[in-house]
Amino acid sequence: MIPGTAGPVVLFSLPLAAAIVVFIRPRWSVPVTLGTGAVLLAVALWLVGVVLQQGGWRQDIGGWTAPLGIGWNVDGLSATMLLLNAAVGLAGAAFHAARPAPPATARDPRFFWPLWLFLWGGLNALFLAADLFNVYVALEFVSIASVGLIGLVGGSAQAAAWRYLLATLLGSTIYLLGVALLYGRYAALDLALLAEGVEPDLVTAVAAALMTLGLLLKAAIFPLHFWLPAAHGRAPPAVSAVLSAVVIAAGYYLLVRLWFGPFAPLLGTGVATLLGLLGAAAVLWGGLLALMQRHLKMLIAYSTVSQFGYGLLVFPLVAAGAAHPAWAGAVMLVLAHGLAKAALFLAAGAIILRHGIGRLEALGGDQRGAVVAWVAFAVASASLVGLPPTGGFVGKWWLAQAALASGGYFWLAVLMLGTAFTAAYLWRALQAAVEPGWESGGEPPTLSPALGLGALLLALSAAALGLAAPLIARLLDAGPGVSG
Amino acid sequence: MGTAGVIFDGLLALALVWLAWQATRAADLFHAVVSFIVFGLLMALAWVRLEAPDIALAEAAIGAGATGALLLSALDRLVTREGRRTVLYEPGAAWGFWIPAGAALLGALTLAAWKLPAPGLGDEVLASLGASGVDHPVTAVLLNFRALDTLLEIGVLLLAAVTIWSLGRAPSPLVPVMPSPALPALGRLLFPVFVLVAAYLLWRGSHAPGGAFPAGAVLGAGAILMLLAGARPWIRSSEHGPWRWILSLGLAMLLAAGIAGTVMGQAFFQYPPGTAGPLILLLEVAAGLSIALLLFALYLRGEPCEHGYRGSGP
- The mean per-residue pLDDT over the stretch A179-184 comes to 93
Q: Which of A60, A134, A144 sits opposite B159 (nearest CB)?
A: A144
Contact A181/B at CB under 8 A: yes
Report the C-alpha gap between B26 and B88 in whole angstroms: 8
Angstrom distances, CA of residue B257 to CA of A62, B148, B272: 10, 10, 10
Fold of the domain built from segment(s) B1-85: Four Helix Bundle (Hemerythrin (Met), subunit A) (1.20.120)
Mean pLDDT, chain B, whole residue set: 83
CB pairs under 8 A between A and B: 159
Predicted pLDDT at B79: 59
CB < 8 Å to B149, chain A: 70, 133-134, 137
**Is the pLDDT at B35 greater than 70, yes or no?**
yes
**Is the pLDDT at A14 greater than 60, yes or no?**
yes
Mutation site for B-interface testing, chosen from A1, A11, A20 by largest number of B Cβ within 10 Å: A20
Q: Kindly state the helix (H) or strand (E) to which residue A72 belongs, with its residue range.
A: strand A71-74
**Is the pLDDT at B234 greater than 80, yes or no?**
no
Predicted pLDDT at A259: 94
**Is the pLDDT at B83 greater than 60, yes or no?**
no
Cα–Cα–Cα angle for A101, A107, A108, rounded to 5 degrees? 50
From the list A303, A426, A424, A429, the residue with the least C-alpha distance to A364 is: A429
Contact B166/A at CB under 8 A: yes
All residues at 6 or more sequence positions from A441 whose CB lies less than 8 Å from its CB, including other chains: none
Say if residues B59 and B40 touch (Cβ distance below 8 Å).
yes
Is the CB of A185 less than 8 angstroms away from the CB of B117? Answer: yes
Predicted pLDDT at B252: 96
**Is the pLDDT at B80 greater than 60, yes or no?**
no
Burial degree of A151 (CB within 10 A; 0-12, 13-18, 19+)? buried
Report the C-alpha gap between A447 and A449 in whole angstroms: 6
Angstrom distances, CA of residue A308 to CA of A272, A313, B303: 16, 9, 37
Report the C-alpha gap between B262 and A5 in whole angstroms: 9
CB < 8 Å to B121, chain A: 67-68, 187
Helix then strand then coil, in percent of chain A rounded to 5, is: 75, 5, 25
Q: How many CA atoms, within 13 angstroms, populate the side-chain half-sphere of residue A116?
A: 35
Please name the amino acid found at residue A277.
L
Q: Which of A59, A68, A145 sits opposite B124 (nearest CB)?
A: A68
Chain A residue closest in CA terms to B269: A62
Q: Kindly state the helix (H) or strand (E) to which residue B192 belongs, with its residue range.
A: helix B182-204
Mutation site for B-interface testing, chosen from A137, A150, A177 by largest number of B Cβ within 10 Å: A137
Predicted pLDDT at A294: 92
Predicted pLDDT at A334: 95
**Is the pLDDT at A96 greater than 50, yes or no?**
yes
Number of residues assigned to chain A:
484
Is the CB of B255 less than 8 angstroms away from the CB of A17? Answer: yes
All residues at 6 or more sequence positions from A14 whose CB lies less than 8 Å from its CB, including other chains: A36, A39, A40, A121
Q: Which of A9, A181, A209 sits opposite B262 (nearest CB)?
A: A9
| Cis check: omega of the bond before A114, within 30 degrees of 0 | no
Please name the amino acid found at residue A158.
Q
Contact B259/A at CB under 8 A: yes
**Is the pLDDT at B183 greater than 60, yes or no?**
yes
For residue B40, is it left (φ>0), alpha (ψ between -120 and 50) or beta?
A: alpha
Global ipTM: 0.94
CA trace torsion B105, B110, B113, B115 (10° rounding): -120
Is the CB of B239 less than 8 angstroms away from the CB of A25? Answer: yes
Predicted pLDDT at B179: 59
Say if residues A340 and A357 touch (Cβ distance below 8 Å).
no
Query: A93-97, A134-138, A470-474, B189-193 — which is least confidently predicted?
Result: B189-193
| Domain locations along chain B | 1-85, 128-314
DSSP label at B61? I
All residues at 6 or more sequence positions from B291 whose CB lies less than 8 Å from its CB, including other chains: B154, B157, B212, B213, B215, B216, B217, B219, B220, B250
Contact B95/A at CB under 8 A: no
Predicted pLDDT at A484: 43
Give how far A356 is from chain B: nearest CA, Å. 25
pLDDT band at A440 (very low <50, low <70, confident <90, very high): low
CB < 8 Å to B105, chain A: 177, 210
| Cis check: omega of the bond before B137, within 30 degrees of 0 | no
Mean pLDDT, chain A, whole residue set: 91
| Cis check: omega of the bond before A223, within 30 degrees of 0 | yes
Largest separation between any pair of C-alpha atoms in chain A: 69
Four-residue CA torsion sign, B267, B155, A224, A91 = negative
Report the C-alpha gap between A282 and B250 in whole angstroms: 43
Q: A343-366 as b/e, with b when 16 or more CB fall inside 10 Å?
A: bbbbbbbbbbbbbeebebebbbbe
Mutation site for A-interface testing, chosen from B146, B245, B251, B279 by largest number of A Cβ within 10 Å: B146
Is the CB of B252 less than 8 angstroms away from the CB of A17? Answer: yes
Q: Which of B121, B167, B267 sits opposite A63 (nearest CB)?
A: B267
Q: Which of A62, A114, A185 sits opposite B116 (nearest CB)?
A: A185
Query: A279-288, A468-477, B89-98, B284-293 — which is least confidently predicted?
Result: B89-98
Cβ count within 10 A of residue A83:
24
Predicted pLDDT at B313: 35
CB < 8 Å to A26, chain B: 239
The phi, psi pair for A254, rounded to 5°, reads -70, -35
Predicted pLDDT at B311: 38
Largest separation between any pair of C-alpha atoms in chain B: 63
Predicted pLDDT at B312: 37
Percent of chain A topping pLDDT 90: 71
Report the C-alpha gap between A111 and A97 in whole angstroms: 13
- Per-residue pLDDT of A102-159, as tens digits, reads 766 566 678 999 999 999 999 999 999 999 999 999 999 999 999 999 998 888 888 8
Predicted pLDDT at B307: 64
Give residues 110 to 169 of A whose Cβ lies within 8 Å of B: 110-111, 114-115, 118, 121-122, 125, 133-134, 137-138, 140-141, 144-145, 147-148, 151-152, 158
Say if residues A253 and A81 touch (Cβ distance below 8 Å).
yes
Predicted pLDDT at B191: 84
Burial degree of A52 (CB within 10 A; 0-12, 13-18, 19+)? middle
Is the CB of B267 less than 8 angstroms away from the CB of A61? Answer: yes
Give residues 130 to 149 of B whose Cβ lies within 8 Å of A: 144-149
Contact A54/B at CB under 8 A: no
Angstrom distances, CA of residue B151 to CA of B96, B249, B271, B312: 42, 11, 15, 37
Directed axis angle between helix B276-299 and helix B243-263, to 10°? 150
Report the C-alpha gap between B231 and B197 in whole angstroms: 20
Is the CB of B152 less than 8 angstroms away from the CB of A138? Answer: yes
**Is the pLDDT at A19 greater than 90, yes or no?**
yes
- The mean per-residue pLDDT over the stretch B88-94 comes to 66
Greater model confidence, B187 or B40: B40
Predicted pLDDT at B304: 82
Cα–Cα–Cα angle for A266, A259, A270, rounded to 5 degrees? 45
From the list B251, B240, B189, B185, the residue with the least C-alpha distance to B216 is: B251
**Is the pLDDT at B82 greater than 70, yes or no?**
no
Say if residues A185 and B95 touch (Cβ distance below 8 Å).
no
Is the CB of B147 less than 8 angstroms away from the CB of A61? Answer: yes
Percent of chain B topping pLDDT 90: 28
- The mean per-residue pLDDT over the stretch A456-463 comes to 95
Cβ count within 10 A of residue B276:
19
Beta bridge partner(s), residue A238: none
Is the CB of A70 less than 8 angstroms away from the CB of B146? Answer: yes
Q: Kindly state the helix (H) or strand (E) to which residue A74 belongs, with its residue range.
A: strand A71-74
Give how far A287 is from chain B: nearest CA, Å. 27
Report the C-alpha gap between B206 and B199 in whole angstroms: 12
Predicted pLDDT at A223: 87
Predicted pLDDT at A222: 87
Report the C-alpha gap between B262 and A6 in whole angstroms: 7
- Per-residue pLDDT of A190-238, as tens digits, reads 999 999 989 888 899 999 999 999 999 999 998 888 889 888 888 999 9
Q: Which of B109, B145, B153 sits opposite A62 (nearest CB)?
A: B145
Predicted pLDDT at A450: 80
- Per-residue pLDDT of B196-207, as tens digits, reads 989 888 888 778
DSSP label at A190? B
Give how far A7 is from chain B: nearest CA, Å. 11
